[in-house]
Structure 1
Amino acid sequence: MSRATTLHSERAYRIEPESQYTPQIGALVEMMNYTRLTTLQAVEGLTTEQVDTVPEGFGNSIGMLLAHIAAVDRVYQMMSFEGRDFGEMDGAIMGGLSMGQQGTPPPTGQSLDTLLAELDAARKLTLDTFTTKDDDWLASRLPAPYDDMNQHWAWFHVMEDEVSHRGQIRILRKHVAPKKKE
């Protein structure tokens, strides 16, 4: 059974916060989990070559977008959980965040499993940290210089960014792994 199928059977079509989270954080987590389910479904079964291909007329590969999604989680962890300045991120995170335009570009030739392992690791840290927070924290502002946003908006944006890029992944998939007509 694939990760997407397993997650679908466990989480789809319900927003029911689990007991380890406060109610609002739990609802956010369920939405983030569903978003991740749809991302996993969008990339399921792709080969390394398909993940690395940048079709003509496009600026990114599916692999680059997956690296970006993981990097966004990492950046918001740094800003939200650690109170660190955006400028303090390492080159690998910046490479993923900027889709290779700054920092160290994510390497090509990574298998889908490798890319998904980084997505899983980044999200695991987010979800584990959420168990130590409460709804008052979720409503609080991020530390300066990001104090114009609150925690809830920041983590909503992480989910929103993934949804946006998942749409791009679906379009790219049609170019790199078209369905065969029977």
Structure 2
Amino acid sequence: MTKRKFRISFGNAQDHSVDYLIGILEDARITTIQSINNLSVEELDWQYKAGWNTIGALLAHIIAVEHYFRIEFIGGRKLTEEENAKWLPALDLGPYVPQLITGELIDSYIDRLTESRRQLVEVLKTVSFEEFTKRIEDYDPETGCDLAWALYHMVEDEIYHRGQISIIRKLYKEQLAINNYSQA
């Protein structure tokens, strides 16, 4: 498993501010992967109640959001029909959660998390300071946003969902303990 670095490297991207964000992105992802390592398929697909997210659905969401941000905010284009069909269920969650309960092993999620982050970091290394800070007509009609904020928001979303994953894991373990006690 990858170890956290506790240092941010500079000089890899066209601009140091991009290097700083890449350091944050990489640390957030390593921490996410460390928090989910060794989860069983049952834990990944378990729902506290109908309509609740599963850990697997949240991981699929993190992956889909990353592809969405790379394509739309850095690539500057809308998702194709094929990409939209592939990523929409995980982007929106809600009614799509049942189809996100897939029986996949944790290694599959970790591979996809690693690959989506690799793709994002590769393209980020080519972003100039001007591209990083130019106004994007999104989020706020008055001020718009910039790529720096959009990517910060993406990391914020991952960390938020990592907290949800932690809560779901605790609820799963509590339910398992209750079931084991009832059977004794």
Name the TM tier (shorter chain): 0.7 to 0.9
Q: Which residue matches 1:151?
A: 147
Q: CA RMSD in A?
A: 2.7
Q: Which residue matches 1:80?
A: 73
Sequence identity (%): 28
**Superposition pairs for residues 47-86 of structure 1, below 5 Å?**
47-56=40-49, 59-85=52-78
Could you tell me whether the CA contact under 8 Å between 1:18 and 1:26 is conserved in 2? yes
Q: TM-score, normalised by structure 1?
A: 0.82
Larger radius of gyration, structure 1 or 2?
Answer: 2
For 1:145 and 1:171, the matched residues in 2 are separated by 31
For 1:7 and 1:133, the matched residues in 2 are separated by 27
Q: TM-score, normalised by structure 2?
A: 0.81
One-letter identity of the residue aligned with 2:117: R
Q: Which residue matches 1:136?
A: 130
Could you tell me whether the CA contact under 8 Å between 2:25 and 2:155 is conserved in 1? yes
One-letter identity of the residue aligned with 1:173: R
Deviations, residues 68-126 of structure 1 (Å, cap 9, x unaligned): 00011011112112222368542220111011535994351011111111111211111
For 1:75 and 1:114, the matched residues in 2 are separated by 19
Q: Which residue matches 2:22?
A: 29
More helix by share: 2
Contiguous gaps of at least 5 residues in structure 1: none
For 1:7 and 1:151, the matched residues in 2 are separated by 28
Contiguous gaps of at least 5 residues in structure 2: 178-184
**For 2:34, what is the secondary structure of its paired residue?**
helix
For 2:117 and 2:61, the matched residues in 1 are separated by 13
Could you tell me whether the CA contact under 8 Å between 1:17 and 1:29 is conserved in 2? no
**For 2:20, what is the secondary structure of its paired residue?**
helix
